[in-house]
Amino acid sequence: MSNNSIGVTELFHLLESNKLNDVEETKKVFHDHFLSTKDNWLVNGLFDYYLSTNSLRAIEVLSGVREPHDKHLLDRLTETIAKPVTSAQRVQALTVLGHVARRQPTWLYKLTNHSLFKELLKLLKVETDALSMVSALLLLVTLIPMLPAALGPYLNEIFEVFTRLASYHHVQSINLSSSIVNSNNIMDKDQFHLLHLQLGLYSLFHRLYAMYPCNLIAYLRLQYSQRDHDETFKHTIKPILDSVRMHPLLITASKDAETNAARWKKMEHHDVVAECGRFALDRSREEVLGSINPRATPLLDQQCPYTPVSVTEGLLESGVNNGMEEDTFWSPSMVILPQSPTPIQASSHEPRSTPSTPNNNRSNASPPEAAIEATPETTPVKVIYFLVERSKL
């Protein structure tokens, strides 16, 4: 495929072809053009094509650009996020940036020094469109562990984003709870957006708490210490605080030590993500441990480690309980009635039937006794077999 013999229109047509060979060849042609020019016309042309078509293959080409075209792409993304023609274009720009972040190019570290990162934080501070807000929030959650050493100057702004979104979530929960009382409808689009916002808030907090616990707790203490009965804190912040375990750095580290670049020098992105997961309380593990111990108290909510907005209960309860005190005592025993263990009955001498396992006359099949003998002593299957055989006696 010759670069000179194919026009731009034909290139775009081949890019959307159903033949994978043609698609890969076309991508190679675009990359060759990127190597042969340093101007921004190619990035702008591809970006305009994506805005008009939502082409996923155009995103794949754009997310693979290299220096010096990275600056052209970041400039165009900044322009679209700051001054979009429509709100849909802002979401499209956030989508492209999300694909870039997932690809983790070598020039991604430049993002914090570019105005695009400031525009992203600004968007989260003032945006009211649910789709743009949630898209930007999830993008920020993705970027934080990729740029741990460069976020020091932006920590306070990120904390402001967290508190602003927490307040927004509280207000929207009250509004939606009243609408449910009046309409009794099933969960609509706004409620789904609110649920995604809540999950994004939990994810953002878990990232910040694991990476910068001293800075985060100091900021929250400054924000809410003078407002002990702040409704946003009781409704949104406190349940999030209950979802994490104690962080050792709150005792052994300082605010300055957390942002020191030397702390992150030996950690890759996946190491930071794994570190962030260490401090979130794992309800699924509690469920496993509870099932092992038959005397353990059953967990009431084992489905989700968060406190998601429910269709009929969560939103209604949040609206009803806003004026109630949080000091009401609660115990699992108030919900789960005490149960005495079933007394062991004396063994009777009545014959007990044991189901037999047919061998279907297989001549080469090993008898079950041989299979059991080959089983290790600690295997539960062998213990069960031993008990069954003893009951036959």
Higher pLDDT, 130 or 337: 130
More confident residue, 240 or 335: 240
pLDDT digits (tens, 9 = 90+) for 186-237: 557 888 889 999 999 999 999 999 999 999 999 999 988 876 558 888 889 9
Weakest mean pLDDT among 113-122, 185-194, 330-339, 356-365:
356-365
Share above pLDDT 90 across residues of the chain, in percent, rounded to a whole number:
49
User: Looking at residue 342, what is its pLDDT?
Assistant: 54
Q: Which of 166, 176, 227 is nearest to 202 (CA)?
A: 166
Residue 183's pLDDT band (cuts 50, 70, 90): low
The per-residue pLDDT for 392 is: 54
Q: Predicted confidence band at 53 (pLDDT cuts at 50, 70, 90)?
A: very high
Q: Which residue has the higher pLDDT, 95 or 284?
A: 95
Contact 211, 263 (CB under 8 A): no
Mean pLDDT, range 238-251, rounded to an integer: 93
Q: Indicate the residue type of 236.
A: T
For position 339, what pLDDT does the model report? 55
Which residues have C-beta within 8 Å of that of residue 55, sequence separation ≥ 6? 15, 16, 49
C-alpha distances out from residue 362 to 105, 368, 374, Å: 60, 12, 20
Q: pLDDT: is 84 or 393 the higher one?
A: 84
Answer yes or no: is pLDDT of 6 > 70.
no
pLDDT at 353 > cutoff 70? no
What average pLDDT does the segment 337-347 reach? 52
User: What pLDDT is stored for residue 340 in this prediction?
Assistant: 52
pLDDT digit string (tens) for 75-100?
999 999 999 988 899 999 999 999 99
- Identify the pLDDT of residue 311: 39
pTM for the full predicted model: 0.71
**Cα gap 169→173, rounded to integer Å:** 6
What mean pLDDT comes out for the span 137-150? 96
- Count of other CB atoms within 10 angstroms of residue 112: 17
Give me the mean pLDDT over the 263-271 stretch. Answer: 91
Q: Is 168 exposed, middle or buried (0-12, 13-18, 19+ CB in 10 A)?
A: buried
Helices 41-53, 87-103: axis angle to 10 degrees equals 120
* Structure-model confidence comparison of residues 387 and 227, the more confident one: 227
Sequence-ordered alpha helix ranges (H) in 37-105: 41-53, 56-62, 69-82, 87-103
- Give the pLDDT score at 232: 86
Structure tokens that stand for 26 in this block: 């076309």
| Average pLDDT over the chain, rounded to an integer | 78
What does the DSSP assignment read for 206-274? HHHHHH-HHHHHHHHHHHHTT-TT-HHIIIIIHHHHTTBPPPTHHHH--HHHHT-HHHHTT--HHHHHH
> Which of the two residues, 324 and 270, has the higher pLDDT score?
270
Q: Answer with the residue of higher pLDDT: 93 or 300.
A: 93
Torsions phi, psi for 280 (to 5 deg): -80, 130
Between 295 and 202, residue with greater pLDDT: 202
